[in-house]
Amino acid sequence: MSTLPSHHVPPWQWDVFCCVIDNFGDIGVCWRLASQLAAAGQRVRLWVDDASALAWMAPGGAAGVEVRSWGAFPAANEPPSDVLVEAFGCEIAPDFIAACEDRVSAGAKKPVWINLEYLSAESWVPRHHGLPSPVLHGPAAGWTKWFYYPGFGKDTGGLLRERGLMDRMQAFDRGAWRRQHGGDAPGQEPRWVSLFCYEPPALGDWLQQCASGATAPTCLLVTPGRAQRAVQVAMQEISNEIGLQRLSGMPEQLHILNMDARPQPAYDELLWACDLNFVRGEDSLVRALWAGQPLVWHIYPQDDGAHGPKLDAFLDWLQAPPSLRHFHRVWNGLAPGKLPVVDAALLQNWGTCVRAARERLLAQNDLLTQLLGFCASKR
């Protein structure tokens, strides 16, 4: 697979298309891609059907990125598309493609058309990455789309990693962050845990484990939306099961802090500040890998059960120890039983595993570098 350093690529016009499904994952990845392209000197138009999440995810925007409404078109005096990126199976409107074809007929160069796929560690990904898909119908009949698969191995499209990330992480003051967020109370130092999830079947088991006194006290930082609602429901179920009197003793061992929505760089800091990160979907999984702290992934559940093999493939790539593998399967409802008790020794073991995986990733080219090189090879 051809790669080309970003500084060798001329400033092209990129059109990135995103249909928002849950306001976090798809738009989160597309915004990271768009902003990293712009930081590399590219011009980007991000076409999105619901940009509302960017108000908190990227409140300052990014120089070089224009957010456009889905269904609109570039004006006649604007630059033609050099690269089209369909993210996560969304389909560019035929009228937009017809407008691109008109530009090509008038002398513009045919754009490189990228189908940016979902992230997976499954063995078939390297075989499909970079394959052509001829366009047989519509205004662009005769053109070619190219499958582009992010991934964890050297034969895939890589993962998004902006320049300077590791330096920024190294300069982060974890102690100051914790003090700012209420971590200067006297007593035993708690373990800090972030929770970004859907509705994990074992959430109640985890909360009871934290509150039982079997481990160090836990400061649980819960992200907005589904995670906070899931914790509220689970705590109510625990209250019904064990009674209010026993529940009232939980704050001594389990302190739950509901977090506000935060921009992407601030979410990174949350991950860096914690001893254990529960993440969901794609974007937060990748950011947790860069953070290098122990992590647990809540994979998006699919009705056909396809998430099971996908999770197993990730755990195989991660070289997860048995305890981490078992925790993942119970957390995701793929195995019965109780969660393993997560004590200091287990966290150390999991952290060693994640940091070793991060080193493997850092030895590979990031997604942006690879994508720029791939597109240069197709023009």
Q: What is the pLDDT of residues 325-367, one digit of tens each?
A: 999 999 999 999 999 999 999 999 999 999 999 999 999 999 9
pLDDT tens sequence across 153-203: 999 999 999 999 999 999 999 999 999 997 665 566 899 999 999 999 999
The CA distance from 33 to 83, in Å, is 13
In which residue are the tokens 């940091």 written?
355
Tell me how crowded residue 312 is: count the other CB atoms within 10 A of its CB: 17
Q: Which two tokens stand for residue 93?
A: 């409107």
Structure tokens at 237: 């179920």
- What's the confidence (pLDDT) of residue 1? 39
Q: Are 119 and 317 in contact (CB under 8 A)?
A: no
Residue 130 DSSP SS3: coil
- Element at 69 (helix H, strand E): strand 65-69
CA nearest 79: which of 115, 111, 122?
111
Sequence letter at residue 363: A
Taking phi first (over 0 means left), then psi (-120 to 50 degrees means alpha), and beta for anything else, what does residue 341 get?
A: beta
Q: What are phi and psi of 295, to 5 degrees?
A: -140, 155
Which pTM value belongs to this model?
0.94
Residue 7 has pLDDT above 60, yes or no: no
* pLDDT at 49 > cutoff 80: yes
- The region of weakest confidence among 5-9, 20-24, 260-264, 307-311 is 5-9
Two tokens, residue 124: 């078939």
Report residue 245 as tokens.
């009197």
CA-nearest of 221, 220, 213, 216 to 250 is 213
d(CA 286, CA 292) in angstroms, rounded, equals 10
Coil/strand/helix, residue 275: coil
In this predicted model, what pLDDT tens digit does every residue of 60-77 receive, in sequence order?
999 999 999 998 989 989
Residue 267's pLDDT band (boundaries 50, 70, 90)?
A: very high
Active site residues: 26, 282
Q: What is the mean pLDDT of residues 98-126?
A: 96
Neighbours of 66 (CB within 10 A): 16
For 337, residues 6+ apart whose C-beta sits below 8 A from its C-beta are 330
pLDDT in tens, 269-318: 999 999 999 999 999 999 999 999 999 999 988 888 889 999 999 999 99
Measured at the CA of 257, the angle between CA 253 and CA 258, to 5 degrees, comes to 145
Question: Is the pLDDT confidence value at 125 over 60?
Answer: yes
Residues 357, 349 contacting (CB under 8 angstroms) = no
CA dist 320 and 97 (Å) reads: 44
Give the pair of three-digit tokens for residue 243. 């009674």
Q: Which domains does the chain have, with CATH numbers?
A: 6-158+365-377 (3.40.50), 165-362 (3.40.50)
Query: How many angstroms from the chain centroid is the CA of residue 129?
Result: 19
Is the dihedral angle over the CA atoms 202, 204, 205, 211 positive or is it negative? Answer: positive
Count the neighbouring beta carbons within 10 Å of the beta carbon of residue 129: 22
Q: How many other C-beta atoms can be found within 10 angstroms of the C-beta atom of residue 89?
A: 12
Q: Which residues face 122 on adjacent strands?
A: none
Q: How many CB atoms lie within 10 A of CB 323?
A: 17
